[in-house]
Amino acid sequence: MEDKPSMPLQLSEHSAEAISPKNNISEYDQNGQKEHGLHTLPWLQVLGSFCLNGTTWKFRCISDLLLSEDAARQGFSDSEISWIGSVQGFFMFLVSFLIGPVFDAGYLHSLLLVGTLLSVVGLFMISLCTTYWQLFLAQGVAMGLGFGCLYLPAPALVSMHFDRHRALAIGLSSSGSGIGAVVFPLVFTNLEPRVGFAWATRTIAFILLATSVIPLAIMRFPEARRPAHDSRSTSGRKRVIKLLAKWIPSLLDRAALHDTPFILLVIRSLTTLTGIYVMLYYINLLVAARTEVPQSLASQSPTFVNGASTVGRILPSFLADHIGPVHILAITAFLSSLLTFTSPSVHNSGALVVWAIAFGSFAGAFHGVARGGNRCGILVAEPVAGAILGTHGDGWVGLVGWSASLMMAGVCVHGYGQNDADW
């Protein structure tokens, strides 16, 4: 294949196409730089992406834990607390979508630096917050914006460095969130009784700062797709401004509205991920309210789910390279829905551990392969679930039914999409 001259790539050719499940061949690999053997650079991107996914998603989990502690300490309602977590997640995905041209123009390390500073400063500020609006700004806005700057480079860079094993590489990198979601809540819960909430939070912030150094040091574009200009120069900044000026008016891609497979992909991911987020956020409260499990074990139920999700992100991602990611999404969504329907039947410690591991494996598999639908799903999942929980006599039954039905709706959309040859 004839080499193409280096040039800045638009979002539609670069970031979006790189993570598209329909396009599993990257231009970089077709130019002869494939991930054969022990080629170092692509696997360094997996390591850096592993740290970034841990930085964003593991702190989404620790953020929920911090919010629960704040609710207990300062008397915030469940509805108020859930809005902070939802806004944080919404900003994380929204910003990662909007900064595409900045990433395409070569400002990788600038995004990593800004994201790290916002996330670390926001986490440090949580230890000083005394009012609801302070907590909302620090944890909801600052950390959400910071996570947004860090989230996009993780899948985009890995996708550009791999072709044949792209889904496996993304699955390995996304497993960082599962591992971090186990380790960091355990660190916090063990530190908080000894040193207090403030210093436990600051310790987590220092660890966040340390893990963010690795991506800054090793992540870079593949040589064949490196932007031709210096992103630190004046001409580079002007180029970004021009890209933004062209890209912002075209945010609404009318052609995408007529792309049936794409629309079905977004709907399926939106419904399924919304249902998954509900269970991830309320699992410990559900266990404490509906089972005879000791409180100490109930509080650790998210740890079992997140730990199992690490395995769930890797193995199905490997299978997705062979049987297709869409089929993996449908299978894991169906099994996650069935497990959610059965959650009210869990009454003892043994059943809880088995259920949490099974649900975490399948939910993690879906999340490791899916990318669309996150922004809206994470914004509405927790507040709507809180409203259902508070307006019914036995709100837990309604919450479980709503969560499982959303996942099953995603499966139905997949079945409808099978009529399209592109699926």
- The 10s digit of each residue's pLDDT in 284-315 is 777 777 777 777 777 777 778 877 877 777 77
Residues 275 and 317 in one domain: yes
Per-residue pLDDT averaged across 145-149, rounded?
89
Final residue before a domain boundary, out of 222, 249, 276 = 249
> What residues make up the domain containing 94?
38-249
- For residue 165, being part of any structural domain is answered with yes
How would residue 152 be classed by pLDDT, with cut points 50, 70 and 90?
A: confident
Looking at residue 203, the DSSP 8-state letter turns out to be H
Domain total of the chain: 2
Residue 13 lies in a domain: no
For residue 368, the model assigns a pLDDT of 58
Q: Is residue 109 part of a domain?
A: yes
222 and 359 inside one domain: no
- Same-domain check for residues 203 and 300: no
Q: Is residue 20 over pLDDT 50? A: no
Residue 364 included in any domain: yes
Asked if residue 93 belongs to a domain, the reply is: yes
Are 137 and 81 part of one and the same domain? yes
**Is residue 171 included in any domain, yes or no?**
yes
Same domain, 231 and 371: no
Q: Is the pLDDT of residue 33 over 70?
A: no
Assess whether pLDDT exceeds 80 at residue 323: no
Per-residue CA distances from 314 to 42, 251, 301, 411 (Å): 17, 33, 21, 21
Based on the domain organization, do 148 and 66 belong to the same domain? yes
pLDDT of res. 175? 75
Half-sphere exposure of 254 (CA within 13 A, CB side): 1
Which tokens sit at 55?
């930085």
Of 224 and 262, the one with more pLDDT: 262
Q: What is the pLDDT of residues 104-139, one digit of tens each?
A: 777 888 899 999 999 999 989 988 888 888 888 988
- Pair (244, 267) in one structural domain: no
Residue 234 lies in a domain: yes
Q: What is the CATH number of the domain that holds 157?
A: 1.20.1250.20
% of the chain beyond a pLDDT of 90: 3
- Band of residue 70 on the pLDDT scale cut at 50, 70, 90: low
**Whether residue 260 is found in the same domain as residue 237:** no
Least trusted range by pLDDT, from 1-15, 318-332, 406-420: 1-15
Q: Is 25 left (phi over 0), alpha (psi -120 to 50) or beta?
A: beta
Torsional sign, CA 256, 258, 261, 264: positive
CB 290 within 8 A of CB 396: yes
- Which is nearest to 215 in space by CA: 46, 60, 40? 46
Q: What is the mean pLDDT of residues 28-44?
A: 56
Q: How many residues does the chain have?
A: 423
Q: Do 52 and 157 fall within a single domain?
A: yes
Quick check: 270 and 329 in contact, CB under 8 A? no
In a domain, 187, yes or no: yes
pLDDT in tens, 176-231: 777 777 778 788 878 888 888 888 889 988 988 888 889 988 888 877 666 555 44
Dump pLDDT digits (tens) for 385-406. Answer: 666 766 555 667 778 888 888 8
Tell which of 249, 267, 293 closes a domain.
249
Examine the domain organization and report whether 339 and 374 are in the same domain: yes
pLDDT at 89 over 60: yes
Domain end call among 196, 231, 249: 249
286 and 397 housed in the same domain: yes
Residues 299 and 417 occupy one common structural domain: yes
